[in-house]
Amino acid sequence: LKNYTSAFAMTSPDQVLGPKSRADALATVSGSPYVLVGCSSFQGQKWTGGIALIRASNLSGEAAGLVQACVEMPAGVPALVCLSDRDPFTGQVVAVSGSDDGAVGVWSVSTGLQPSVQEASSVRWHDDIVSCIAPSGQASSQVVSTSWDGTAVLWDCTSTGPRRVSELRPGQHAVHAAAWCNSSVALATAADGCVFWDPRSGEAGRSGLVGGARELQREGVAPGPAAARAGLTAVAACENEQAVYLGTDAGGLLWLDRRAAGGGRPQTLASPHTEGIRQLLLGGENGSILASSDTAGKVVLAHTTDAALQRVVHSAAVPGGLALGWQGPQLLLGGVAGVRMLALEDCTF
C-alpha cells in the first residue's frame, strides 16, 4: 500500500440538515459528477431526514462536495438508489428512496444548469424502517424494497411514482438487504437465511405467507440452507449474477452459489470485521473490489474472484462510515463525518 490516508471530507451533513446529522445512504448519478445523499438528523425530540444532491467530481477544488439541492423530509433516509435509465420524457434522473417511517418515494433529479431534487410521489407501505432499495439490472424501472417489518416488495417506479407489483414475507424476522441475481432477488434476513425470490411467481404477495419451506417453494422461492439461517445483514451479487456475497451480524463474509445442489451451501471467506456488516458493494474499474462497512465505522476493501478474497487492499476506521457508493474507481463513504472519498489510484494493488 502507498499512502492511503487521503480521505477527503467533501461536505458535512451539518450543511445539509444542521447539527447532529449524518449521511446514511449514497446513490451515484451515472455519467455525472453528482451524488445523492440520504440523510437523517436528530432535531429536538425526534429524528428527521432529507435528500441532498452534492457535487463529488474530484478530490479538490471549491466545487467538490458543495450541496447543490436539498429536500427536507419527516423521517431519515437509510436507502437510496438512482435508476439506470433517465425519464424518457424529461431526461431527468429517477431516484427511489426508502425512509425510516416505511415510505418508498420516487424523485426527479435534475443535473443541469439548475440542479434540483423534487419528489414525484411516495407510498408509506412498510410498517417499519426500509432497510434497502435494490434496483433491477434487467427491468430498469423495477426495484425491490426490504424492511425491518419482515417484507420485501417489488415496485415499478416511473417519474409519476411507485406502483406495487408483488410482495413476499420470507420468514418471521427483518429483511436487511436485497440484491438482484438475473430475474431473482437474494434477500438477506435476520434469522431466516438467504432467500432467493422470483417476483414473477404468481402469488408471491399473497397475504398470510409465513415463509415455511413448502410455501416458499410453492411461491417460487428457494429457502437458503440451514447454515446461513441466522444473522445476515448485507448481500451483493457477483458479476455473473449466479452467486452472492453475504455479510453477517458477527462481521463475517460468506459466499453462496445458488446453482449448487440443494440451493447451495455458504462458504466462509473471511471475518474482516468485528462488528456487524452494514453494507457490501462491488465496484472499482472492473467490478472486482468488494467494499464492506460495519456498524463501528470500519471499511474494508478486498480483491475478489467469486469464492475467494485475493487480498485486502485497505482496512481503516472511518468515523461513522456506514454508507458506501462507487463513483468509477473512487469509493464514497457516508456517515457522521459527512461524505468522504477514497481514491483507489493512491493504492498499489
DSSP line for 71-101 = EEESS---EEEE-SS--TTT--EEEEEE-TT
Mean of the pLDDT values across residues 295-301?
88
pLDDT range class, residue 344, cuts 50, 70, 90: low
Q: What is the pTM of this model?
A: 0.84
pLDDT range class, residue 4, cuts 50, 70, 90: very low
Residue 122's SS3 state is strand
Mean of the pLDDT values across residues 291-306?
87
Output 114 or 42, whichever has higher pLDDT: 114
Give residue 57's pLDDT. Answer: 62
Mean of the pLDDT values across residues 98-105?
96
193 has pLDDT over 70: yes
The Cα 324–Cα 177 span in angstroms is 14
Output 46 or 167, whichever has higher pLDDT: 167
Span of 17-21, 70-74, 136-140, 297-301 with lowest mean pLDDT: 17-21
The Cα 283–Cα 273 span in angstroms is 19
Among 3.30.1600.10, 3.30.70.260, 3.30.230.10, 2.130.10.10, name the CATH number for the domain at 77-335: 2.130.10.10
Q: For cell 480483491, what's the residue?
A: 303
Mean of the pLDDT values across residues 88-113?
93
314 has pLDDT over 80: no
DSSP line for 15-40 = HHH-SSEEEEEEEE-TTSSEEEEEEE
pLDDT range class, residue 216, cuts 50, 70, 90: very low
296 sits in which H/E element = none
Question: What does residue 76 show for φ and ψ, rounded to 5 degrees?
Answer: -65, 160
The Cα 318–Cα 320 span in angstroms is 6
Give residue 260's pLDDT. Answer: 67
Give residue 270's pLDDT. Answer: 82
Model confidence over 240-260: pLDDT tens digits? Answer: 778 899 999 999 999 988 776
Give residue 336's pLDDT. Answer: 80
Output 346 or 256, whichever has higher pLDDT: 256
Q: For cell 409465513, what's the residue?
A: 210
Mean of the pLDDT values across residues 200-221?
37
* Average confidence score pLDDT of the chain: 79
Find the angle CA(249)-CA(289)-CA(332) to the nearest 5 degrees: 80
Cβ within 8 Å of residue 52, ≥6 positions away? 16, 36, 37, 39, 67, 69, 70, 71, 117
pLDDT range class, residue 328, cuts 50, 70, 90: confident
Give residue 221's pLDDT. Answer: 45
User: What percentage of residues in the chain have a pLDDT greater than 70?
Assistant: 77
Span of 124-138, 161-175, 215-229, 329-343 with lowest mean pLDDT: 215-229
Mean of the pLDDT values across residues 33-43?
87
Q: What are the Cα distances from residue 324, in Å, to 31, 163, 262?
A: 18, 27, 33
